[in-house]
Amino acid sequence: MKVRKAVIPAAGWGTRFLPITRAYPKELLPLITKPLIQVAVEEVVASGIEEVIIVVAEECCFIQEYFQSAPELNALLTQKGENHLAKEMCRLERLAHISYVTQVERLGLGHAVLTARDAVGDEPFAVILPDDVVDASEPALLQMMKIFHDYGSSVLGVVDVDTPDIQRYGVIRPESVKPCVHKVLALVEKPTPAAAPSQLGIVGRYILTPQIFDAIAATGPGRGGEIQLTDALSILLQSQPIYALEFCGKRFDAGNPLGWLEAQVALGLKHHEYGDALRQKLRQII
């Protein structure tokens, strides 16, 4: 079955980016010239998905405003001869069919996904977390969709994580199926390094079967008192297989200041417009 919809949770507190996130959703933090959430929507679209459901904390917030059409601004840009910018604004407004659901209580990632249940319906869907940025020649989500089509089961995007960092991730116990593809035998949310079943951490990319919704509904509070998606996946695993893909590409944790800075520099150096100049400036600084 085709994956037609993607859910983007964007209602978290963004505590690792306080104080900025007191007033501003972390999903709108810039990555060179675009906010993280646009980068995520572009990955979704490049993977062949046209319907995006964004889970927001409030009915009217900066994220809705960002994707809203702005005819006055576009007219002004055209009038001023800024045709390139006007074209880019129109592209942004037409990027995808975006709808919003509100997560009134912020009870965790699993709960955010459950909030999108009615909007998704009874079909497989993708989940993408905007603060996990992946630089890949083939979008990570698209690579995972191919595995979904091969196996017809949920697929998690995983990367090899350094031991001290493992406690920031949902971690799988893998059984190798073929290079980079694993059958998931068990999952643990944010284990200590000693308790981690492997070094493979889930990084903000999921293709899920709709049965995940019942599993989330049956999930009690876990780590940090939140309804964890990883715990719901453990429940789902009791009734259907789950696979994990070590996708090709470089992943950045743009959800914390250091990882965000690393992503700016690494992707900035590759940027068609600013890359060369940034390289020169960095040489002067270092």
Q: Under the criterion CB under 6 A, does residue 189 sit at the interface with ligand G1P?
A: yes
Answer for which of 154, 167, 198, 230 binds ligand G1P (CB under 6 A) is 230
Alpha-carbon span 207 to 44, nearest angstrom: 11
Answer for which of 49, 53, 109, 207 binds ligand G1P (CB under 6 A) is 109
Q: Nearer Cβ to ligand G1P, position 230 or 264?
A: 230
Alpha-carbon span 116 to 95, nearest angstrom: 20
Q: Which two tokens stand for residue 226?
A: 């939140």
Q: Under the criterion CB under 6 A, does residue 130 sit at the interface with ligand G1P?
A: no
CB count, 10 Å around CB of 18?
A: 10
**# of chain residues touching ligand G1P (CB under 6 A):** 14
CB under 6 A: which stretch of 65-73, 140-148, 197-205, 208-216 binds ligand G1P?
197-205
CB count, 10 Å around CB of 250?
A: 12
CB count, 10 Å around CB of 99?
A: 12
Q: Nearer Cβ to ligand G1P, position 25 or 77?
A: 25
Q: Nearer Cβ to ligand G1P, position 209 or 234?
A: 234
Q: Cα 216 to chain center, whole Å?
A: 18
Number of C-alpha atoms within 13 angstroms, CB side, residue 76?
A: 5
Answer for which of 38, 115, 198, 228 binds ligand G1P (CB under 6 A) is 228
Q: Nearer Cβ to ligand G1P, position 49 or 233?
A: 233
Assign residue 9 a region: left if phi > 0, alpha if psi is -120 to 50, beta otherwise? Answer: beta
Q: Cα 139 to chain center, whole Å?
A: 12
Alpha-carbon span 264 to 278, nearest angstrom: 10
Q: Nearer Cβ to ligand G1P, position 86 or 231?
A: 231
Q: Under the criterion CB under 6 A, does residue 204 sit at the interface with ligand G1P?
A: yes
Q: Under the criterion CB under 6 A, does residue 216 sit at the interface with ligand G1P?
A: no
Q: Under the criterion CB under 6 A, does residue 154 sit at the interface with ligand G1P?
A: no
Q: Under the criterion CB under 6 A, does residue 157 sit at the interface with ligand G1P?
A: no
Alpha-carbon span 224 to 107, nearest angstrom: 10
Residue numbers at the binding site for ligand G1P (CB under 6 A): 109, 129, 132, 169-170, 189, 201-204, 228-230, 255
